[in-house]
């Protein structure tokens, strides 16, 4: 027997689970969480690499299982060595999945011989790791976007030109300012309808955190090869710690200003299967104090001189009050530093036009109408009016699954609809962030507005092809461009 952290001490409260654990999936989590409730100490036995059905190497599987909160120790089981492990550990309880309840369990007599119990978890482990691996491989290899070749032909967009612009991404240094958000995905099993009131009842079995807001915009920029500085406001809480860890993971230069009067913005999504059952936002949206405004301004002044451009990622939660925005724009204009603005309006408040003079303004139809207080005019009129009010160089009017309208002041308000490149999205969260980051780098690299929108749409298409707001990589981008 090889061991990985095995103490060798028998304990009547010890619980034992064994298996391949190729990929940790919801069935495994339910099994292990159930096992943990059957005793005090949970030991997991991993079958060695040459065992039947093992796909991933032992080191990867060890790391995955050790990382689970319910697991206390992990041991490696040599081929046909399960009985040896059980006799050495003599666990009080051995737990297996419910699907084994009617099978011939070879360890049953041995466990009974020393006074232990063999239990079966509630619910089946209804997943195949091999199937999941195959699906994951297919998913990674099948980012099949419906590229608009007519658009490329009309605006003379060539692969060689795009490639030369993409290669310049690594030369760019971008300063991102705005609201950082922590997105928490809570995965649940549906249990049914409450008998006491008409409420859906679920049982959470796993959760994952994703960096969002201005944080994920900076992470996209970094993942695409650029250098990225982030200035944002967080609370003094656990969410801020997770955001900080995420920033380190993505190699961001993050500058956090702590506001004791507000929590770090946390948005929870309760998901079952591919459906979001409920969204909960934990936030306060009052404007930051004058002292924090001064602190942000000081940081901005220190960092802007090394920046090729500035990105405002604004969710209208009080991190970027107008007095601060005016000063930051003035600093950009004095230094001839181009800036880009995306101002999302989750409520009935928000005015993207306040970022006067932006190189590109990014807005949804709803955000454009809010800025203009116009709910009746057609899209062409809305786009033109917003361009004039914001005095913007260009406008990307995002229409969700319909695509994006590109408007250029440099071409006398020439307008073009670019249809979405991904008509079958898995998770729309982060599409705008990916488009923003990629478009900023393309524009800064000297691309035309049409090339910029074209590659930005590809980035958005890649982003919505997977679950969770995860930064797209330069490799993913180039594989779509040059298959």
* Count of domains for the chain: 2
Beta pairing partners, 313: 178, 342
Domain boundary among 107, 131, 155: 131
Cα–Cα dist 386/425, whole Å:
29
Domain boundary among 96, 131, 166: 131
Beta pairing partners, 342: 313, 362
- Does some domain include residue 199? no
Q: Are residues 82 and 171 in the same domain?
A: no
Q: Are residues 166 and 55 in the same domain?
A: no
| Residue-by-residue pLDDT tens, the chain, 483 positions | 334 433 444 456 899 999 888 877 777 888 888 888 889 899 999 999 888 778 788 888 898 899 888 899 999 998 778 888 999 999 999 998 877 777 778 888 899 998 899 988 865 444 544 444 444 433 444 566 777 788 888 889 998 899 999 999 999 999 999 999 999 999 888 888 777 777 888 888 888 899 999 999 999 999 999 999 999 999 999 999 999 999 999 999 999 999 999 999 999 999 887 788 899 999 998 999 999 999 999 999 999 999 999 999 999 999 999 999 999 999 999 999 999 999 887 666 788 999 999 999 999 999 999 999 998 988 888 999 999 999 999 999 999 888 999 998 765 666 788 888 887 777 787 899 999 999 999 999 999 999 999 999 999 999 988 877 889 998 888 888 876
Q: Are residues 342 and 409 in the same domain?
A: yes
Q: Are residues 97 and 41 in the same domain?
A: yes
**Which two tokens mark 391?**
């005095």
Cα–Cα dist 385/389, whole Å:
6
- Does some domain include residue 250? yes
Q: Are residues 392 and 448 in the same domain?
A: yes
Give the three-state DSSP class for 188. Answer: strand
Q: Are residues 453 and 420 in the same domain?
A: yes
Q: Are residues 258 and 363 in the same domain?
A: yes
Strand arrangement of the beta sheet that strand 404-408 belongs to: 253-258, 227-234, 173-178, 309-314, 339-343, 360-364, 394-398, 404-408, 414-418
Cα–Cα dist 16/9, whole Å:
13
Element (DSSP H or E) covering residue 45: strand 41-47
Cβ 31 vs Cβ 97: under 8 Å: yes
Domain boundary among 72, 100, 131: 131
Q: Of 67, 89, 109, whose CA–CA distance to 18 is shortest?
A: 89
Element (DSSP H or E) covering residue 363: strand 360-364
Cβ 422 vs Cβ 146: under 8 Å: yes
Q: Are residues 464 and 392 in the same domain?
A: yes
Cα–Cα dist 254/303, whole Å:
11
Cα–Cα dist 436/227, whole Å:
15
What's the CATH number where 308 sits? 3.40.1190.20
- Does some domain include residue 416? yes
Q: Are residues 171 and 36 in the same domain?
A: no
Cα–Cα dist 398/403, whole Å:
6
**Which two tokens mark 234?**
């967080």
Cα–Cα dist 199/193, whole Å:
6
What's the CATH number where 107 sits? 3.40.50.620
Q: Are residues 100 and 162 in the same domain?
A: no
- Does some domain include residue 77? yes
- Does some domain include residue 188? no
Q: Are residues 150 and 245 in the same domain?
A: yes
Q: Are residues 126 and 151 in the same domain?
A: no
- Does some domain include residue 189? no
The whole domain housing 127 covers: 2-131
Element (DSSP H or E) covering residue 297: helix 290-304
């Amino acid at each position: 027997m090889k061991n990985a952290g095995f103490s060798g001490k028998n304990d009547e409260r010890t619980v034992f689970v064994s298996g391949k654990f190729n990929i940790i999936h919801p069935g495994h989590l339910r099994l292990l969480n159930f096992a943990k409730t059957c005793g005090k100490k949970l030991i997991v036995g991993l079958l060695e690499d040459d065992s039947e059905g093992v796909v991933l190497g032992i080191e990867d599987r060890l790391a995955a299982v050790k990382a689970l909160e319910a697991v206390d120790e992990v041991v490696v089981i040599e081929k046909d060595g399960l009985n040896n492990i059980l006799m050495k550990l003599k666990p009080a309880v051995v737990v297996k999945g419910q699907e084994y309840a009617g099978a011939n369990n070879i360890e049953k007599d041995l466990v009974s011989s020393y006074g232990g119990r063999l239990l079966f978890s509630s619910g089946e482990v209804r997943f195949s790791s091999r199937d999941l691996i195959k699906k994951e491989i297919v998913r990674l290899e099948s980012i099949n976007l419906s590229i608009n070749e007519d658009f490329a032909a009309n605006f003379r967009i060539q692969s060689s030109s795009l490639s030369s612009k993409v290669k310049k991404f690594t030369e760019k240094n971008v300063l991102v300012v705005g609201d950082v958000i922590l997105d928490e995905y809570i995965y649940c099993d549906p249990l049914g309808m409450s008998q006491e009131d008409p409420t859906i009842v679920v049982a959470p079995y796993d959760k994952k955190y994703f960096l969002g807001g201005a944080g994920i915009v900076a992470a996209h920029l970094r993942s695409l090869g650029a250098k990225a500085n982030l200035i944002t406001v967080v609370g003094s809480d656990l969410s801020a710690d997770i955001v900080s860890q995420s920033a380190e993971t993505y190699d961001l230069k993050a500058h956090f200003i702590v506001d004791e009067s507000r929590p770090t913005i946390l948005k929870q999504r309760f998901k079952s299967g591919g459906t979001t059952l409920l969204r909960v936002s934990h936030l306060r949206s009052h404007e930051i104090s004058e002292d924090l405004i001064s602190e942000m301004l000081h940081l901005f002044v220190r960092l802007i001189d090394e920046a090729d451009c500035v990105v405002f990622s604004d969710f209208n939660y009080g991190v970027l009050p107008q007095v601060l925005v005016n000063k930051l724009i003035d600093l950009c204009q004095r230094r001839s530093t181009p800036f880009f603005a995306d101002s999302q309006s989750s409520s009935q408040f928000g005015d993207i036009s306040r970022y006067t003079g932006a190189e590109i303004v990014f807005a949804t139809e709803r955000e454009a109408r809010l800025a203009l207080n116009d709910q009746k005019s057609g899209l062409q009129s809305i786009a033109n009016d917003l361009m004039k009010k914001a005095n913007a160089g260009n406008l990307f009017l995002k229409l969700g699954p319909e695509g994006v309208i590109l408007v250029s002041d440099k071409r006398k308000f020439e307008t073009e609809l670019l249809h979405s490149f991904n008509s079958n999205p898995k998770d729309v969260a982060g599409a705008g962030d990916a488009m923003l980051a990629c478009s900023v780098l393309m524009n800064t690299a000297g691309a035309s507005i049409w090339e910029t929108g074209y590659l930005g749409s590809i980035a958005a298409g890649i982003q919505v092809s997977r679950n969770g707001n995860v930064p797209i990589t330069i490799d993913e981008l180039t594989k779509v461009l040059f298959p």
